[in-house]
């Protein structure tokens, strides 16, 4: 089955890059859900993650840095029969695209966002990122980053996201389960993924995350409680993995009777009568 999602080219990520685990989990989830590839749209930004649509045989759009979400949300509004998955990096989504991230959470359009969080800028060869820890030493912060890292999950909860989860690229099986849940969720779903960068981030390695994470499944967490999720979103060393929060709430599209019967893209435009509108101006 997985073969159907292969493309003609092979990933150009570094050997050992966390992105391989994410790509595998993503393709696995699409297969597990039995989605027809032509009904899936993967939208990416710019960064190491950005070429991901090159290696999944679905419709894809690699946008400019930071702008995955506005484009992906609108594509879903235009054709809500598509499964829309945005893939973004931490710099892409939480620096340049931070405003879109918050607004997508509060807008609640039915799509999934996978944030590839490696805590560093990889493609531009090793600068600090919004999720780098305070004191993180990089080419741009040789004396240590003076800034607090962004807490993506807490921000998402505060902004009203209806599905908030976290996975680890070093555990693709668990990650795939999480991505499946996120795609199945009715509304905007966020999955933050700890993604080791084997070249530029010597702090957040595979071993580091293995030793400093635990799974919420079986840990007695109530993922329908926003308060419990809020507490979990602030836990660190170890960081929790799994579904922190999931709720059913009204989506942006629930307020759009204009697409209740038919997707926008299927609506004919050949014979539009504007005479009643012109009457307003007589």
Partner 1 sequence: MAAEKVNNFVWLIGGEAGYGILTAGEIFARACMHAGLHVFTNTEYPSLIRGGHNTFMVRASDQEINAHGEKIDALIALNKETIERHAHELSTGGGIIFDPEVCGEVSAKAKLYPVPFTKILADIGAERIMLNTIALGASAALLELDFSYLEKAIAKTFGKKAAVVKQNIVAAQAGYSYIKNNFPEKLDISIKPIKSAPQHILVTGNDALALGAVAAGCKFAAIYPMTPTSQVLHRLAAWQQKHNIVVMQPEDEIAGINAAIGASFAGVRSLTATSGGGFSLMAEALGMAGMTETPLVVIWGQRPGPSTGLPTRTAQGDLQFALHASQGEFPRIVLAPGDIDECFHAAHEAFNLAERWQLPVIILVDKHVCECYKSTTPFDTRNLKIDRGQFANAGSGEFPRYKITENGVSPRALPGQPGGIFRAVSDEHDEYGYLTEEPTTCKAMNDKRMRKLEYIARELPEPVLYGPAKAGVTIIGWGSTKGSVLDALLLLQAKGIAANFLQVYNIWPFHAAAVGRVIDQAKAVICLEQNATGQLASLIREQTGKAVDSLLKYDGRQWTPEQVASAVENRVKGV
Binding site for partner 1 (CB under 8 A): 7-9, 36-39, 41, 43, 46, 51, 53-54, 57-64, 67, 69-79, 81-82, 99-100, 102-103, 256-259, 264-265, 267, 269-270, 272-278, 281-282
CA of residue 142 relative to chain centroid, distance: 30
Comparing CB distances to partner 1, the nearer of 6 and 207 is 6
Specify the DSSP class assigned to residue 71.
Answer: H
Closest-CA residue to 263 (of 113, 34, 74): 74
Comparing CB distances to partner 1, the nearer of 82 and 241 is 82
Asked if 43 and 24 touch (Cβ cutoff 8 Å), the reply is: no
29, HSE (Cβ side, Cα atoms, 13 Å): 25
**Minimum distance from CB of 183 to partner 1 (Å)?**
16
As given in the structure block, the two tokens for residue 67 are 């702008």
Place of tokens 């990122």: 129
**Minimum distance from CB of 242 to partner 1 (Å)?**
30
**Minimum distance from CB of 264 to partner 1 (Å)?**
5
**Minimum distance from CB of 106 to partner 1 (Å)?**
10
Comparing CB distances to partner 1, the nearer of 63 and 246 is 63
E strand or H helix that includes residue 120 = strand 120-121
What's the rounded Cα separation, in Å, for the pair 276 and 135? 64
Q: Any bridge partners for residue 86, and if so which?
A: 43, 113
As given in the structure block, the two tokens for residue 25 are 């989990």
**Minimum distance from CB of 174 to partner 1 (Å)?**
28
Comparing CB distances to partner 1, the nearer of 62 and 205 is 62
In 161-222, at which residue ranges do the beta strands (DSSP E only) sit?
A: 163-168, 188-194, 213-215
Query: Any residues with CB less than 8 A from the CB of 204 and at least 6 apart, and which?
Result: 118, 119, 194, 196, 197
Comparing CB distances to partner 1, the nearer of 133 and 160 is 160
Asked if 111 and 100 touch (Cβ cutoff 8 Å), the reply is: no
Comparing CB distances to partner 1, the nearer of 38 and 234 is 38
Q: Any bridge partners for residue 188, and if so which?
A: 111
What phi, psi does 86 have (nearest 5°)? -100, 135
Comparing CB distances to partner 1, the nearer of 3 and 272 is 272
Comparing CB distances to partner 1, the nearer of 43 and 178 is 43
**Minimum distance from CB of 113 to partner 1 (Å)?**
14
**Minimum distance from CB of 52 to partner 1 (Å)?**
10
**Minimum distance from CB of 216 to partner 1 (Å)?**
31
Asked if 95 and 119 touch (Cβ cutoff 8 Å), the reply is: no
């Amino acid at each position: 089955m997985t073969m159907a999602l292969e493309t003609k080219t092979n990933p150009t990520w570094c050997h050992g890059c966390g992105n391989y685990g994410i790509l595998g989990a993503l393709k696995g989830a699409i297969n597990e859900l039995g989605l027809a590839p032509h009904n899936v749209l993967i939208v990416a930004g710019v960064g190491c993650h950005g070429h991901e649509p090159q290696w999944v045989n679905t419709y894809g759009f690699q946008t400019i840095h930071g702008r995955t979400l506005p484009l992906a949300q609108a594509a879903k509004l235009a054709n809500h029969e598509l499964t829309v998955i945005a893939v973004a990096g931490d710099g892409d989504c939480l620096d340049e695209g931070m405003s879109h991230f918050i607004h997508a959470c509060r807008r609640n359009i039915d799509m999934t966002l996978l944030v590839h969080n490696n805590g560093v800028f990889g493609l531009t060869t090793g600068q600090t990122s919004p999720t780098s820890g305070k004191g993180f030493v990089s080419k741009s912060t040789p004396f240590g980053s003076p800034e607090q890292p962004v807490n993506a999950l807490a921000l998402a909860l505060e902004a009203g996201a209806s599905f908030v989860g976290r996975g680890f690229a070093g555990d693709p099986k668990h990650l795939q389960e999480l991505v499946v849940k996120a795609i199945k969720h009715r509304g905007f779903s966020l999955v933050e993924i700890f993604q080791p960068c084997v070249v530029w981030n010597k702090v957040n390695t595979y071993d580091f995350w293995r030793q400093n994470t635990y799974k919420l499944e079986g840990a007695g967490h109530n993922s329908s409680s926003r308060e419990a999720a809020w507490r979990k979103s602030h836990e660190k060393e170890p960081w929790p993995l799994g579904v922190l929060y999931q709720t059913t709430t009204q989506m942006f599209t629930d307020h759009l009777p204009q697409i209740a019967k038919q997707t926008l893209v299927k609506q004919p435009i050949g014979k539009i009568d504007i005479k009643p509108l012109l009457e307003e101006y007589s």
